[in-house]
Structure 1
Amino acid sequence: MQKVISIGKQNFVSLRENDCFYIDKTDLICKWWESKDEITLITRPRRFGKTLNMSMLNCFFSNQFTGREDLFKGLVVWKKEKYRKMQGTYPVIFLNFAAIKGSNYEDARDGIIMAINEAYSEHRYLLESNELTDGERKCFEELDYYAKNPGIKKQVANDTICNAVKNLANCLSRYYKKKVIILLDEYDTPMQEAYLYGYWKEFTAFIRSLFNATFKTNPYLERAMMTGITRVSKESVFSDLNNLNVVTTTSTEYETCFGFSEEEVFQALEERGMNNQKKLVKSWYDGFIFGNTHDIYNPWSITNFLDKKQVRPYWADTSSNSMIDELIRKASTDIKEKMEELLQGKEIVVNFDEQIVFEQLDQDENAIWSLMLVSGYLKAEQIEYRGVLLEPWYHLRITNLETTAMFTTMFKGWFAKNQSNYNQFMKALLSDDIDAMNYYMNQIIMTTFSYFDVGQNEPERFYHGFVLGLIADQTDIYEIRSNRESGFGRYDVMMIPKIKETKKYPAIIMEFKVRNIKREESLEDTVQTALTQIKEKCYDAELYDRGLKKEEIHHYGFAFEGKKVLIG
């Protein structure tokens, strides 16, 4: 009998007690314990089983689950006698920061207090012990009162919050005569919100103190594991934490412990009589790479596909992608050109630091590649180390069809308010209707220019955003290239038809020019300058090499002046 697929269930106990579909990842327990690392941080994209794995670790180690061998029978970890004896033998503090998404510092701080108080609530039995001091009892009650009454004038002192996890570990260690395991899931969620809403410095100063007390100066700690999406810089939140082992998506440790392997996915398809879907599933959901292990599938998309038996961008639809959207939209033409290459299925090679420094995202544009890699939107097929300093250069591609669909939706969304005008412009472009092209382009620009955060004399960011929009809608019939060499120069945009009906789908070259008021009396003059450049620089050369004839190629000059554009 096929096991029921429970979508979104992240509680290991519930999953096992209800005999739901589960792919065994308990080898994580063995690998982590045998590593002997004191503090481990594992980063993986969202919806990759981080929370379920942390719940599993909690159920295995926590003495609150002593005697629950039924949860692990038949799984990898239970085949090893050493680990059977370890089940349910440690005091565990389990924290989850996933829900901390405050739009200001006070709300984020309240969220931290509530998360810590949940851990305290699980161990309120300690209040019945005679071993707790008056100060420790007061901490229990103070956190509980504040968590139930957030925003009250008399706040819990930062020092109390920052030392709360360490103090709870102290209480548990004395009570059980054993050091404590600390599990912290989605550690970086509140930090991403702090960056997005502009309270990064204040919040990281607070969280740094919390992490240092919890992990660095905690003598009651046996081991700790943290999970998250990003590897936030050590200087930001883990200062002087020398006992931290960071495992990113490019690390070889724990390669198979998160996500589904191809073997696991294909076996699940076979069990459900869906052998004929393997190729389709692979094209849509394969492509993730962890360390040296390729062909890793996203668990969220696979479980949804097995349940609904329909191909959809399940994983891509679970997030707004607002941070990446904003960074790409405001990025330089170089970043947008690289995005064009990625959308056309090509590889880009870039250098960046995997360590995310959120406050530097606005200054160091290459940090966006790090963010997209750790988020799972891009995959690193190869990392080469260059020069004496062995700087890492990443060979990146879009992960799979699902992430391609996510980017396409994002770029089309830039013109959502102008979708009708955008569609009409494309029709006019393909039919060589200059008057209609001018009308609809001016309608688009009036509402879209400011959205791309550019100055009046700097339209490059707009038109490269526009090119991404063209790519998103036209990749089936056109190969779209921008800022490439042809003839004796570099054209701005070239649309090369993939379909041979050149009357319906002509080749198109576009040249963009900002009016130079010293040399050009009008936008008409600027248009002529653009058209002359196309001719004199022989931009048609690349198209002639591909076998196109002169009458199959259309030239267009775009002249910009502020929010006005003239096409000729």
Structure 2
Amino acid sequence: YGALKSCDGYIQFAMLTGVTKFGKVSVFSDLNNLMDISMINRFSEICGITEEELHRYFDDDIHTLAEKLGTGYEETCARLKLNYDGYHFSFKSPGMYNPFSLLNTFANMQIDNYWFATGTPTYLVELMKQHNYNVEEIEDIVTSGPVLDSIDSASTDPVPVIYQSGYLTIKGYNEEFENYTLGFPNREVEQGFFRFLLPNYASVSVTKSPYEIQRFVEEVRKGDVDSFLSRLQTFFDDIPYELAPRDREVHYQNILYIVFKLMGFHAEVEYHTSRGRVDLVLKTSDYIYVMEFKLDGTAEEAMAQIDAKGYASAFAADGRKVVKVGVNFSSETRTIDRWIIA
């Protein structure tokens, strides 16, 4: 930065790009006269491909892809949008497609998770674990522009890093309070992010986790809760001490949330009812699982809380079968100690 500023008499135009932006003042105060265009509306279409551009330049590719996949044109467009669209670089920005993922899709004639293979957010994950960040909060973050716009080498807040790295994008804007609502831009990013998180939080290898998730789905769909919890128990077994931080309850909740997100079911942590908050509600096409967790308590206490507060009654009008699950974690063994199903 200092070298650039000393040569500004010879530079007519320069554009700096990167992943995360470290403050141009403080640490790099040598170059403090930059124009930051990251969140300016008129530049919001520079990076990415708009819906109009997709159909103007790649319509033949979409038709070919639809033929290869055996799907109709409209369905193929919907799948491309679900997986690769959704980036917003300002609150008035149109949705932008990821060009890297689109080009790879058309080159291979296959919809897949391409972008996540370009890099892994190791620093980000370590930052989240270091500060016991609640993973479920990542999907509905509300923050201000200055927070998104700033980061320095000593930053301990993972939100600007997550946003500037492209794992979150702008989903909404409150003009009165000048606050931004953030969320995952698309399915490719969401699935890739949680897939990377799981081996970093739980005792499961990268190669084995996809198979384990498949088995989880099969067991939960058919209501085999005992098998599901037994398998889940192995995710907590032998977790290294450094992976089980001082706030173990948050750590256990994070693992559960990541697993359920990867399973593709509708999971809600701290589900609010008129009688209180359920630790976790998991919904499938046939079942609603009402789950309460205790740390160094008993499974009986967890089940008693479900009954005493009438958590299950909130779903009495639902046609699906309601299954109550009380689970106790042990900080000594760092795994699931016991569970009760009713």
Q: Tell me the TM-score normalized by structure 1.
A: 0.50
Answering whether residue 293 of structure 2 is matched by residue 512 of structure 1, we say yes
In the alignment, what sits opposite 2:305? 533
Aligned to 1:7: none
1:488 aligns with 2:275: yes
Check 1:463–1:272 CA distance in 2 against 1; reply closer, same or farther (3 A cut): closer
For residue 483 of structure 1, report the CA deviation from its aligned partner.
1.0
Which amino acid in the other structure matches residue 303 of structure 2?
L
- What is the alpha-carbon root mean square deviation over aligned residues? 3.1
Matched, 1:468 2:258: yes
Instruction: Specify whether residues 495 and 381 from structure 1 end up closer, same or farther in structure 2 by C-alpha distance, changes over 3 A only.
Output: closer
Match of 1:371 in 2: 161
Change (3 A) 1:440 1:548: closer
Task: Say yes or no: does 1:338 pair with 2:137.
Answer: yes
Q: How far 1:439 sits from its partner (Å)?
A: 4.9
Which of residues 357, 363, 378 in structure 1 aligns to 2:152?
357
Counterpart Cα distance in 2 of 1:432 and 1:384:
44
Measured in 2, the distance between the counterparts of 1:446 and 1:540 equals 30
Contact 1:313 1:406 in 2 (8 A): yes
1:533 CA drift (Å): 0.9
- What SS does the corresponding residue of 1:510 show, helix, strand or coil? strand
Determine the structure 2 residue equivalent to 1:554.
Answer: 324
CA distance in 2, matches of 1:286, 1:426: 27
Deviation at 1:449, TM superposition (A): 5.9
Query: What code does the residue aligned with 1:297 have?
Result: Y
Partner residue in 2 for 1:153: none
Give the total of aligned pairs.
319
Which residue of structure 1 aligns with residue 68 of structure 2? none
Indicate how the Cα distance of structure 1 residues 539 and 247 shifts in structure 2: closer, same or farther if over 3 A, else same: same
Secondary structure at the aligned position of 1:267 is classed as helix
Q: Which residue of 2 aligns with 1:226?
A: 16
Name which one, 1 or 2, has greater alpha-carbon Rg.
1
Q: Retained in 1: the 8 A contact 2:4–2:31?
A: no
| Residue 245 of structure 1: aligned partner | 35
Q: Is 2:181 aligned against 1:395? A: yes
Residue identity in the other structure for 1:379: T
Question: Is 1:215–1:221's contact at 8 Å kept on the other side of the alignment?
Answer: no
Counterpart amino acid of residue 404 in structure 1? E
Q: Note if 1:308 corresponds to 2:108.
A: yes
Residue identity opposite 2:260 in structure 1:
L
Determine the C-alpha separation between the residues in 1 that align with 2:148 and 2:20: 12
CA distance in 2, matches of 1:432, 1:228: 47
* Letter paired with 2:59: E
| Cα distance, 1:446–1:378 mapped onto 2, change above 3 Å | same
Q: In structure 2, the residue corresponding to 1:244 is in which secondary structure?
A: coil
Distance 1:449 1:466, change over 3 A: farther
The residue identity in structure 1 corresponding to 2:191 is: A
CA pair 317-224 structure 1, distance change in 2 beyond 3 A: same
Within a 5 Å distance, the mapping from 1:88-237 to structure 2 comes to 211-215=1-5, 218-237=8-27
1:481 counterpart letter in structure 2 = E
* Corresponding letter in the other structure for 1:398: F
**Letter of the 2:41 counterpart:** T
Name structure 1 gaps, 5 residues minimum: 1-210, 501-505, 517-525
Corresponding residue number in structure 2 for 1:566: 338
**Distance 1:328-1:381 versus aligned 2 partners, 3 A rule:** same
TM-score (norm 2): 0.79
Provide closer, same or farther for how the CA distance between residues 274 and 441 of structure 1 changes in structure 2, counting only shifts above 3 A. Answer: closer
- Looking at structure 1, the residues matched to 85 and 40 of structure 2 have their Cα atoms a distance apart, in angstroms, of 19
Distance 1:489 1:449, change over 3 A: farther
Deviation by residue 1:224-254 (Cα, 9 ceiling, x = unmatched): 3222122211334431644211111x21243
Q: Which amino acid in the other structure matches residue 318 of structure 2? A: R
- Corresponding residue for residue 405 of structure 1: 191
The answer on whether the counterparts of 1:488 and 1:537 sit within 8 Å (CA) in structure 2 is yes
**Percent sequence identity over aligned pairs:** 21
> What SS is found at the alignment partner of 1:312?
coil
Given that 2:148 and 2:159 are in contact with CA atoms closer than 8 Å, whether structure 1 keeps it comes out as no
Name the CA distance, whole Å, in 1 between partners of 2:80 and 2:163: 22
Kept in 2, the 8 Å contact 1:530–1:557? The answer is yes
Which AA in structure 2 matches 1:535?
Answer: D
Corresponding residue number in structure 2 for 1:544? 316
TM-aligned CA deviation for residue 256 of structure 1: 2.9
> Alignment partner of 2:46: what SS?
coil
CA distance in 1, matches of 2:159, 2:296: 34
Output aligned runs, 1:397-436, within 5 Å.
Answer: 397-414=183-200, 415=202, 416-417=204-205, 419=209, 431-432=223-224, 434=226
Taking the aligned partners of 1:424 and 1:303, their CA distance within structure 2 comes to 33
